[in-house]
Amino acid sequence: MSVEDLFAEVAAAHPRCVWLDGGGAREWSGTRSLIGWLEDDDVSLTYSAARREVLRHTGGRSEVVGDDIWEALEREVGPGEQWFGYLGYACRTDLPAAPSQDVPDAVWMRPSHIRLFEHELLGQSLHFSGVAMPEKCSDTRLTGYPSPPSPAYRAAFAQIQEALHAGDTYEANLTYRTTVEAEADPVTTYLRLRSINPAPYAGFLQHAVAGHAAWLLSSSPERYAVIDEDRTIETRPIKGTTPRGATVEEDAANAELLRTDPKLRSENLMITDLLRNDLAMVCEPGTVAVPGLMQVESYETVHQLVTTVRGRLSDGITTIEALRRLFPAGSMTGAPKLRTMEVIERAERDLGGPRAAYAGAFGWISGDGPADLGVVIRTLTTHDTRTWRIGTGGGITVRSDVDAEAAEARLKADRVRASLGR
C-alpha cells in the first residue's frame, strides 16, 4: 500500500490522526515521514486561549485539566512517548496575541499506532553560484499579481512604518488572514497541496472532535526548532523572499538579488540576532553559534534567505520549556519581540482575524528530550471543512514598499490557495 493510500484510509477511519510528511523535501530535513492515528481511548489535548482551558480528550469524554498548555504538556508527555500537534500564536499568555475564534489554539495527540516511511530525496536540483535550481522554472513573477493592496493592509502598513520610524521596532512581521468558503475534503486538499508545493515541514493534522475540531494542512519550509538527543537545539529562520524566474537566467538573477540586496539582508540579520538572543536564554554560555548565515534556498515559487542558529541546552531546561521560551518564532514577530508583538497586534486587528494556528509551531515532541517542529506558514486551517483560513505576510522595515510587500504575501499564499481549487 502506498503512503498516500494508507493516509486516506487512516483519515477516513480515525477522527484523530497526523501525517508528518516532510521526508525527502530537503537534505537537511531527512527522508523519513510518519503517519500516526489514535484509538478512542487514546489521549489528545486541546487549548482555548480565550477560556484559558486545556482539555483532555479520551474515551469519548473531555475534561478540563489546566489553564496553560505548556504546563499540561510537561505533565502529560511521559518517558518514551511521542506527541504530535501544533501550538497556535496565542499559546503564551504572557505575550500579546488575540485568541483563536474557530480552531483550538493548540492540539496535541498521543497516537498508539505509528507507521514510518522512507522517501527518496525530492526536487533534484542543479547548482550554480551556490544556488539550488530546479530543472524547470515556472512563471511566478510578481507581475502576475496586479491587484493593489486593500485599504486595510495599507492602513496596517502605515501603522508599522510609524512604529519603525518612532524606534518602537526594528522590523515587524505584518500578516493577514484570507478566508475561503469552499466545501473541500481535507484529505483530497492535502494531497493536492503536497503535490504542488512539497516542503520539509509538510504535514496534516486531523482532530475531528465535536466542539474542539481542527484540520491543519501544512506545506511549511521553515524550521521552528529541532532538539537532538545530545540536547543540541537548532532553529532556521527564514527572512527575505524573491519570486522564481520564468527562465534559468531570470531565476539566477532573482536569487542573486536575494543574496545581495541590503534591505533583504537586513531583514534576515535582525531576526538572526533575535534568535541568537532567544537561544542564549536557554543554552549553555558560549555554545550559541551561526553555522549558516543567509543561505539561499529555492522552492517551487520562491527563493528564500535562510540562517541556521544552533546551541546546546543548559542543564535544567526541559525540551518543552525551551520551546516555550523561544515561542513564537522570531521570524513571525520581528525585533525586539515583545514590543513588536504589541505593535503588530494593533496593526493586524482589521486584517482577517487572529493569527490562530498561523505563525505558531507544528511537529512532534518526546518525553525523552528530542523534538522537531516547523513554523506554521504556507498552511490551511479549518474547523468545519467549509471555512478555510490562509495566513500570509512578510517582514517590514523602513525601506519596505507597500505594493511590493502585498505582492510578496500574495505570492506566498498562491499555491496554498490553489490546493482548494481556487
Task: Just list the catalytic residues.
Answer: 222, 239
Side-chain half-sphere CA neighbours of 205 within 13 A: 34
Q: Which helix (H) or strand (E) holds 396?
A: strand 387-396
- The whole-angstrom separation of Cα 74 and Cα 319 is 9
- The whole-angstrom separation of Cα 269 and Cα 261 is 12
Grouping H, G, I as helix, E, B as strand and the rest as coil, residue 86 is strand
C-beta of residue 325 within 8 angstroms of C-beta of residue 163:
no
Give the CA distances from residue 329 to residues 119, 333, 365, in Å, rounded to whole numbers and listed in that order.
Answer: 28, 7, 17
Give the CA distances from residue 70 to residues 58, 73, 108, 119, in Å, rounded to whole numbers and listed in that order.
Answer: 19, 5, 11, 33
Side-chain half-sphere CA neighbours of 88 within 13 A: 29
Provide the angle, in degrees to the nearest 10, between the axes of the packed helices 337-347 and 151-166.
150
Q: Are strands 302-312 and 232-236 parallel, antiparallel or unpaired?
A: antiparallel
Q: Residues in the chain, how many?
A: 422
Provide the grid cell at 147: 491587484
Q: How far apart are the first and last CA of the chain?
A: 31
- The whole-angstrom separation of Cα 155 and Cα 43 is 44
Beta bridge partner(s), residue 13: none
